[in-house]
Structure 1
Amino acid sequence: MIYAQILAGGKGTRMGNVPMPKQFLSLADKPILIHTIEKFVLESRFDAILVVCPADWLSHTQDLVSKYVSDERVHVVTGGSERNETLMKGIEYIRDNYGLHDDDVVITHDAVRPFITSRIINDNIEAVLANPAVDTVVPAIDTIVQGSEEKIDDIPVRSTMYQGQTPQSFNIKTLIESYEALSDAQKETLSDSCKICLLAGQPVKMVRGENFNFKITTPYDLRVATALVETRS
């Protein structure tokens, strides 16, 4: 079974004074979240597409999906308090409603990356069917500087540096086993889902993303995204 999980659990604190989480803000003619869901329903290989959202916004999300999306594979699920808890809530839904099998995989994606392409989705599916974990990346354009307390500690070689995007894709049983193997202290350091597998000693395959597959996080990002949609229309 091949599942998609759209992570719509963020609160969007960096978007500034807005009335709702950023995934529900309008991008051109419809909410950002809907733009993203529409890219996933185009892929016929998905057995189910989960939209995992905050509990307080469950009804709102269900209303949006009912209004804009006519695909019975799309299900709205309550998420957790942070990213990886939200990810695991989606996995629990899969386990409880479909059961788990050794070859089941999940392609997870940020709700606020609406410019994902069919090529990126396909590459993730093909890669995760042959690997336990997959990350979508683009080569770093700028030099990466590592430091703390306003002092540079290291400047890594740029040719080995990449910027992580999503989708991030996993063999579901491997993801569960990797997460359960982590200590509470390790779980608190997680800012990226692929790190779950890395900390558990699992290899992570990289696939190529696109620079336009960016995450809408700030008001500037939303302006850029709006201009991009208008240019394409």
Structure 2
Amino acid sequence: MRIQGLLQAAGSGTRLGRGPKAFVTLAGRTLLERAVDRLLPAVDSIIVAVAAADMERARALIRDERVAFVEGAATRSGTTRRLMAQATAPWLILHDVVHPFAAPELLRALLQQAHLSGAAAPGLVNAEFLYTRSGELLHPPGAVLIGQKPVAFRRDAACAGYETLPEDGLDSDPSFLDILALGGVKTAFVPGSAVNLKITTPDDLRLAEALLALTA
């Protein structure tokens, strides 16, 4: 079956403080380039969502006929909805440029599990005590999973989920797994990895640079 990759790359990167996330460099290569390189071996084509102001910059950076671009929205969920509107393949992989270390074996495991359950995501077992801001214990170590990207899923399930939501968006930004649940699919988890870093803050970027230095 045909598989398309959907890549979220429209984030402003406010917390990181390095400008738009897609163009933050890691060991000389942008997060956008790294994410595209990770996805292409596993899919037939990729649709990338970037901010309108960055469209030409992104197209100049990624010159591959298998990669198309769409303008992102003001929210993550809105951007995903625009990506979904352009998708045509029955199976999709939703990824984000802030996860530059998604391994090929993870993509294979996600697709294998998604074919069984309809959707699959990496889940990293939480190893810490989790508290509310007021100090009340929420979960002990091992009780919850930290969801990661990418997510592999059936296109029809995501479309059905979005059809239940208003066209003009929501007050909050729902989890994509909640969207899939609204479409009748409960996401199954495959083992995640601490190496599959999410780059959100300057500390995250430093950890990613250190990891690359160790594996160089």
- How many residue pairs align between the two structures? 215
What secondary structure is seen at the aligned counterpart in 2 of 1:129?
helix
- Contact kept, 8 Å, 1:9 with 1:82, in 2: the verdict is no
143, 148, 151: which one pairs with 2:134?
151
CA displacement 1:42-72 (0-9 Å, x = unmatched): 22xx121111111111111101102xxxx43
The reply on whether 1:90 has 2:52 as its aligned counterpart is no
Amino acid at match of 1:106: L
Report the counterpart of residue 13 of structure 2 in structure 1.
12
d(CA) in 1 for partners of 2:37, 2:57: 17
- Contact kept, 8 Å, 1:134 with 1:168, in 2: the verdict is yes
d(CA) in 1 for partners of 2:25, 2:211: 14
d(CA) in 2 for partners of 1:185, 1:87: 14
CA gap of 1:167–1:153, structure 2 versus 1, over 3 A, is: same
- Contact kept, 8 Å, 1:51 with 1:77, in 2: the verdict is yes
CA gap of 1:187–1:205, structure 2 versus 1, over 3 A, is: farther
The reply on whether 1:130 has 2:94 as its aligned counterpart is no
The reply on whether 1:57 has 2:50 as its aligned counterpart is no
198, 210, 214: which one pairs with 2:193?
210
d(CA) in 2 for partners of 1:12, 1:191: 19
TM-score between both structures, scaled by the size of structure 1: 0.84
Q: How does 1:60-75 map to 2 (within 5 A)?
A: 60-66=57-63, 71-75=64-68
The reply on whether 1:162 has 2:145 as its aligned counterpart is yes
Amino acid at match of 2:127: I
**1:230, distance to aligned residue in structure 2 (A):** 2.1
**1:157, distance to aligned residue in structure 2 (A):** 4.3
64, 88, 106: which one pairs with 1:120?
106
d(CA) in 2 for partners of 1:192, 1:62: 28
**1:198, distance to aligned residue in structure 2 (A):** 3.0
Query: Structure 2 unaligned runs (5+)?
Result: none
What secondary structure is seen at the aligned counterpart in 1 of 2:209?
helix
CA gap of 1:23–1:199, structure 2 versus 1, over 3 A, is: same
202, 209, 212: which one pairs with 1:219?
202
Amino acid at match of 2:3: I
Query: Structure 1 unaligned runs (5+)?
Result: none
- Contact kept, 8 Å, 1:9 with 1:53, in 2: the verdict is yes
CA gap of 1:84–1:142, structure 2 versus 1, over 3 A, is: same
What secondary structure is seen at the aligned counterpart in 2 of 1:15?
coil
d(CA) in 2 for partners of 1:51, 1:116: 17
Amino acid at match of 2:214: T
What secondary structure is seen at the aligned counterpart in 1 of 2:206?
helix
**1:190, distance to aligned residue in structure 2 (A):** 3.2
Amino acid at match of 1:2: I
TM-score between both structures, scaled by the size of structure 2: 0.90
Report the counterpart of residue 42 of structure 1 in structure 2.
41
CA gap of 1:136–1:187, structure 2 versus 1, over 3 A, is: farther
**1:180, distance to aligned residue in structure 2 (A):** 1.6
d(CA) in 1 for partners of 2:189, 2:158: 16
